[in-house]
Structure 1
Amino acid sequence: MSLQAILDAIRASSDAQVREIEAATEAEVQKIMVQDQAETKRLRQEAYAAASAPGAAERARILGRARLKAQRILSEAREDLIDDAIDQARKRLASIRDDPIYPAILRQLTEEALANLEGSLGEAEKPQLAVDPRDQQLLESILSNMGLDLPVSGELDCWGGIIAKSDDSHVIVVNTLEGRLTRAMPYLCRCLSALIEEDQPKPSTDQFKVTSEV
């Protein structure tokens, strides 16, 4: 073999070794890069989670406070609406004596009071009736139309209605407008609250959403 052939063979062998080393080096570099990328991603995710946790807790606290505030505002508004409705009812009842329908109302209240008192009276006992002085003449007319002759006193100071009692006052039936409203108050409050609740739009969590960038 000539000297040139030997040199060419050595050079070829060296080139092959260099390429092999380069390929191995490139593969190792790629492996390291992939590992580094995975590690970087893991570290980034851990850092994001660590940074987000306090923010999420704070958002939850803000959301909770917002919901409580909204509930309090709705509750106060509901109470105001109920109070206003009851106040309007009081005003209406306080002036109902001037309404043409009042004689019919007083007659109905009188019939109810007498019916409730009837079972508590002795055989010869007569109900004792009391009304506001403004209603005394009207009640006497109503009793006359009912074919009843009962004692009536104008000792009350009320919006309207009647009190019927036994001779000894041991049994008293209060059927005044104020008394009726007082007895009906729990029912009215429940009904008004239910009506107001139906009219309220359903709250959306979007209105309480708190966003932040990490």
Structure 2
Amino acid sequence: MAYENLLKSVEESATERERELREKARVAIDEIKAQTRKQAEEIQQSYLSGAEKSAGVEKNKLLYLTKGENKELIITIKEKIFSSAFHEAGQQLSAVREHPGYPAIFEKLVHEAIGAVGEDRFSVHIDKRDEDLLRKTLSAMRVSCEVVTDLECAGGLVVSSPDGAVVISNTIESRLERAQERKRHEIYSVLFGG
């Protein structure tokens, strides 16, 4: 019987030891599972965070590019408005010769140009349509010069020294161009708000 008790005791001891080992193994497995879940969550969070940062960077990049494209488009539109305004002014001024006040305007242009040339001898270049008006104006001013009808313009004249070193352009088109350059900053300030 002692032998049977010994076997029974060994068996019970082995069963108890097996239960303890199984319990330790279950606890270890549960700990490993918990650590694995935690690591998986950390990795997932890291990937999500990285993806969010990448998406944020991409979003900011697209916003920046879109704002740049919008600014460029606005500048282009405002430039078209500016050019259109001066084109329309040019169209309106192309008929200035038909206006009853044109002789007075032409006389003023002649006085300005001849006064600016600063030479005793000079040539006046005009559109053929203004030849009679120029001759009357020069006669009233008691000025003698060479008259050349080689321009095609809306009105006005070009005065030059004999050697061509001094050239004063006082045509409707050149005055509009100068006005456009002078007014560009002012008009752009209104158009661009600055």
TM-score (normalizing by structure 1): 0.60
Which letter does structure 2 place at the counterpart of 1:186?
A: E
Percent identical among aligned pairs is 26
Map 1:59-74 → 2, pairs under 5 A: 59-74=59-74
Unmatched tracts of structure 2, length 5 or more: 1-37
Map 1:1-214 → 2, pairs under 5 A: 49-118=49-118, 120-121=119-120, 125=121, 127-146=122-141, 148-151=142-145, 152-198=147-193
3-state DSSP of counterpart to 1:100 = coil
- 1:85 Cα offset (Å): 1.4
Give deviations 1:44-79, integer Å, cap 9, x for gaps: 975653342122112112211211221121121112
Which letter does structure 2 place at the counterpart of 1:65?
A: L
3-state DSSP of counterpart to 2:110 = helix
Cα distance change of structure 1 residues 100 and 195 upon mapping to structure 2, 3 Å threshold:
farther
Residue 129 of structure 1 contacts residue 150 of structure 1 at CA under 8 Å; is this kept in 2?
no
Give deviations 1:106-165, integer Å, cap 9, x for gaps: 1111111111123x33xxx4x33232121112222223443x242434332211111223
TM-score (normalizing by structure 2): 0.65
Count of aligned positions: 155
3-state DSSP of counterpart to 1:131 = strand
CA distance in 2, matches of 1:164, 1:51: 72
CA distance in 2, matches of 1:128, 1:47: 82
- 1:177 Cα offset (Å): 1.9
- 1:186 Cα offset (Å): 3.0
Which letter does structure 2 place at the counterpart of 1:150?
A: S
CA distance in 2, matches of 1:59, 1:190: 35
Unmatched tracts of structure 1, length 5 or more: 1-38, 200-214
- 1:178 Cα offset (Å): 2.2
CA distance in 2, matches of 1:178, 1:137: 21
Which letter does structure 1 place at the counterpart of 2:157?
A: I
Give deviations 1:28-59, integer Å, cap 9, x for gaps: xxxxxxxxxxx8xx959756533421221121
Which letter does structure 2 place at the counterpart of 1:87?
A: H
3-state DSSP of counterpart to 1:110 = helix
Structure 1 window deviating more from structure 2 (50-59 vs 164-173): it is 164-173
